[in-house]
Structure 1
Amino acid sequence: MEVEWAPAREPAAHRAWSRVLRPVAAELLEGSTALAAHAAETIRAEFPELFDNADSRGENLGSTEANIRLFARLMERGADPRRVELPPATLAFARTEVQRQVAFASLTRFYRLGHEVVWEWLLARIARRADSQRELLKAVELGSAWLFTYVDASVAEAERVYEAEQRLWLRSTSAARTEVIADIMAGREKDARRAERRLRYGLERRHVAVIAWMDTAADEDALDVLEPALGKVAAGLGADATLIQPTGLRAAVMWVSGTCGFSAGRPPLPGSGGPAPDGVRLAIGEPGSGLTGFRRTYNEAVHARRVASLIGTGAERVTWYADVAVAAMASVDMDLATTFVHRVLGKLADRDEATRRLAKTLAVYLDENASRSRTGQRLGVHGNTVRYRVLQAERLLGRGIEEDTLDLRVALALLPVVDGESVF
């Protein structure tokens, strides 16, 4: 039988292949079942958590035996080990591991462990069959090179199959989640138990929705940037469970939930620098319970993001719906909102820096129930400065701030939104 692999065609190599490696390959084919069981048990011993049921153990054994038998047949005929077509059992195993969310690094380790077991088996039989030290060295050299090349080619092919399956699986999983979420948002899905099964996320809990997005495209996958930021928020909220769903190329939404629930307002987040890295912005809804709360907190996060986007570069990196609820509700119709702001504030809506400082001071002053000391503490200025700025604001308004207080407070909340530049 002619040897196909070029390194084995040289006369001394061809003799070693014909006299030693080909008979060893035939012996390997005959003993493949027993050796596969040993290799599969070796893999299982290193990864017990991945093979804790009969199905996973059977799939591993079937894939391992199919690989050994293919290896033996190819080696027996001296085929080029770079031209590998993985057996169906191995392809099925790789696809199954994608669905079990086993990392490809683990699959690579499976191959390497199998490689070690097979090489130890081969080495012992090569040593018994070689007639001389020279033939032994040549057979070991050829067998080792052939096996390493075969394993490298097999891993490369497995990676191609794994990545293709992973893309398909992620798309199908994401599409299924997207459909369920859309049904919940539209009110079509009213059965929380059924929705839980479809989402694999508990719904009979308290939820907080968080939207993370990037205003500009990143050189890397956006989710690689957004997910760590969302993870930090989840940790700060003390979440028991999370559900993350991409909503575009530069955005994702996360629901976090807990059996104990979350308090209304601002839950604490870790780190004085906040949870959002450079380039990432967050919008966070208020806590809500069950299907209704799942839907409401998301809608609030959507509106918080809308307000942050309207404010533009002056917005905080983290926008809590609780802080912008009035602006969110009052800015649904921007034409009406803009007209209202300028009618109520008059010259106090001018865009120069001095006027903006007066508007900001007045907004905080009203928020602090007309306390000059608390306003001064928040703004870092003296109480007399607060008094002076409030008087200046009243002059621009042309009236006292005791009149139409509700309109005034709403207009001040809307001012950064309609002008696209935060003063807060």
Structure 2
Amino acid sequence: MDTGLPEVGKTLSVVAANVGSRLPDVSRDIGEHVLAEIPKLRGDEPVLQLLRASVAENVATLLHVLENDIPLDNVEGPTAALEYARRLAQGGVPVSALVRAYRIGHWRFLQWCLEELHGQGVEEDLSAATVWRMLTVSFGYIDQVTEHVTELYQLERDRWLLSRTAGRAARVREILAEQEADLDWAESALGYRLGQLHLGLVAWLPVLTHDGGGLARLDRLTSAIAEEMNCSARPLFIPRDEASCWAWLPFGSDGEVSYERLCGVVEDGDPSTYVCAGRVEPGVEGFRWTHRQALRAQELAAASSSGARFTAYSRVAPIALMCTNIDDMRIWVRSVLGLLAVDDEPCARLRETVRIFLDTGCSYTATASRQILHKNTVQYRIRKAEEAIGHTVHEQRTDLEVALLAVQYLGPALLTPSRS
């Protein structure tokens, strides 16, 4: 299909000119379609006016490109589109809504153009070549503009978060330090209710990014978690620096939390982000407790060899509290595990089987199923592990479970180096 023929350019130019003659109607229709599909974009009137201006300028620019065969390298993002991206960043509207608006608006724009082309009654081969060029140019334009506004959104979101939360961060530090504070005034300053159930989070990027979008990425992740957890209101998000934040999820009076779902959001989201969570705790004291718990979990995650991107304090509380003194913890773990505390593959297999065995209520069948082993193999491994420990796994069971959990997270730091 030769899309470079002069007839193709002429046909596309006529289509663009005719659609452009109805620019107000086309722009209004696309804007209404975008708002109908994306309710999150329905803001106050000044923001809606910016959306309409952004749509109109994008439509006009793309029609000029199609009508006059303007190279995309010579095209810059419309001013209204850039300002609209800034406003959405300041208003906390997810960047995904902005990107989706461009996709939906593009599709509606193409419908207008395709209907106009159909009305021209051109022959089939010319029509197909014209559609091909129309799609190629318009997708190139949308891709270019979307990349530009997304980058601007991320930069503005970081700047806005840092400037807007300076005062809120000071109020939070006062509350965490247990200083005397007027709670009504603090709630008003924070935009967050303290007399409810909270879940504290600590989130960070281990490597500082150079795109200036670190805080925006953490903010998006926090919002995604809050949405998945069905929080009663928007979370409280407090930047710590360009690559880390503290957050509190509001749960009102309902403290039912699925850490599996929370973990799923983290694991399925931005692969460079890490999150630690406290327990759900009530009131002002709970606001402090759940935050401290998340910090303890972060200390463990930083020392851990597990590579987990999500750590829940409720699952690792004993280890998180113990890891403040690694030397004493190492001595204790080795005393509990005995010869099973060697950092080699055979001992690692035995430790994993014992851990699952205890976790399944000492069921050989369930352990075999979890590890995809024969039941006799599990029995053999448990027997070998007991020989290494010096007693049965049922004796001092609590100590054994905690020691195995510690090794699961801290690994070689607690074990005796292999002689090999």
TM-score by length of 1: 0.57
Q: Does residue 396 of structure 1 match 2:388?
A: yes
Query: Pick from 289, 294, 299: which aligns with 1:301?
Result: 294
- The match for 2:272 is 279
Residue in structure 2 matching 1:410, options 399, 402, 411 = 402
Alignment of 1:3-402 (within 5 A): 49-50=44-45, 101=90, 171-189=162-180, 191-220=182-211, 221-239=213-231, 240-263=233-256, 266=259, 268-269=261-262, 274-312=267-305, 314-402=306-394
Deviation of 1:328 after TM superposition, in Å, equals 1.0
In the aligned structure 2, how far is the partner of 1:256 from the partner of 1:382? 44
Deviation at residue 302 of structure 1 after TM alignment: 1.1
Q: Is the 8 A contact 2:218 2:273 kept in 1?
A: yes
- Secondary structure in 2 aligned to 1:245? strand
Superposition deviation, residue 225 in structure 1: 2.4
3-state DSSP of counterpart to 1:292: helix
Unaligned residue ranges in structure 2 (runs of 5+): 1-41, 48-82, 93-154, 416-420
1:246-304, CA deviations, whole angstroms, 9 ceiling, x for partnerless residues? 12232112211122422256263496883442111111111111111111111111111
Is contact 2:329-2:414 (8 Å) kept? no
| 1: CA distance, partners of 2:186 / 2:375 | 55
C-alpha change, 1:225 and 1:345, in structure 2 (3 Å) is same
Q: CA offsets, 1:329-360, max 9 Å, x none?
A: 22222221111111211221111122112112
**TM superposition shift of 1:190:** 5.4
Map of 1:75 onto structure 2: none
Q: CA deviation at 1:191?
A: 4.3
Does structure 1 retain, via aligned residues, the 8 Å contact 2:357–2:364?
yes
**Letter of the structure 2 residue corresponding to residue 338 of structure 1:** R
More displaced 10-residue stretch of structure 1: 261-270 or 322-331: 261-270
Q: 1:295 and 1:216 mapped to 2: Cα distance? A: 27
Superimposed CA distance per residue, residues 54-98 of structure 1 (whole angstroms, 9 cap, x where no aligned partner): xxxxxxxxxxxxxxxxxxxxxxxxxxxxxxxxxxxxxxxx9xx98
Kept after mapping to 2: 8 A contact 1:207/1:261: no
Following the alignment from structure 1 to structure 2, what is the Cα–Cα distance between the partners of residues 326 and 297? 15
Kept in 2: contact 1:222–1:249 (CA 8 A)? yes
Unaligned runs of 5+ in 1: 1-46, 53-93, 104-162
| RMSD across aligned positions (CA) | 3.5
Cα distance in 1, alignment partners of residues 186 and 395 from structure 2: 50
Q: Who wins on radius of gyration, i.e. which is larger? A: 1
Percent of aligned pairs sharing the same letter: 27
Q: Is the 8 A contact 1:211 1:302 kept in 2?
A: yes
Q: What residue number does 2:110 align with? A: none
Measure how far apart 1:193 and its partner are.
2.1
Distance in 1, Cα, partners of 2:172 & 2:369 = 44
In the aligned structure 2, how far is the partner of 1:194 from the partner of 1:377? 56
Instruction: Write the distance in 2 (CA, Å) between the matches of 1:223 and 1:271.
Output: 21
Cα separation, 2, equivalents of 1:303 and 1:344: 24
Say if 1:382 and 1:215 are closer, same or farther in 2 by CA, change over 3 A.
farther
AA aligned opposite 2:44: E
Change (3 A) 1:376 1:49: same
Q: Do the aligned residues in 2 keep the contact of 1:276 with 1:282 (CA within 8 Å)? A: no
The count of corresponding residues between Structure 1 and Structure 2 is: 274
Q: Report the residue type matching 1:210 in the other structure.
A: L
Give the structure-2-normalised TM-score.
0.57
Aligned amino acid, residue 243 of structure 2 = R
Whether the 8 Å CA contact 1:310–1:420 is kept in 2: the answer is: no
Whether the 8 Å contact between 2:266 and 2:310 is mirrored in structure 1 is: no
1:182, 1:325 → 2: CA distance? 24
Aligned-partner residue type, residue 236 of structure 2: L
Counterpart-to-counterpart distance in 2, 1:199 and 1:348: 51
AA of the residue aligned to 2:183: A
**Is the CA contact 1:264–1:286 (under 8 Å) kept in the aligned structure 2?**
no
Query: Cα offset for 1:406?
Result: 2.2
C-alpha displacement of 1:376: 3.0
Shift of 1:186: 1.5
Whichever residue aligns with residue 397 of structure 2, its letter is T
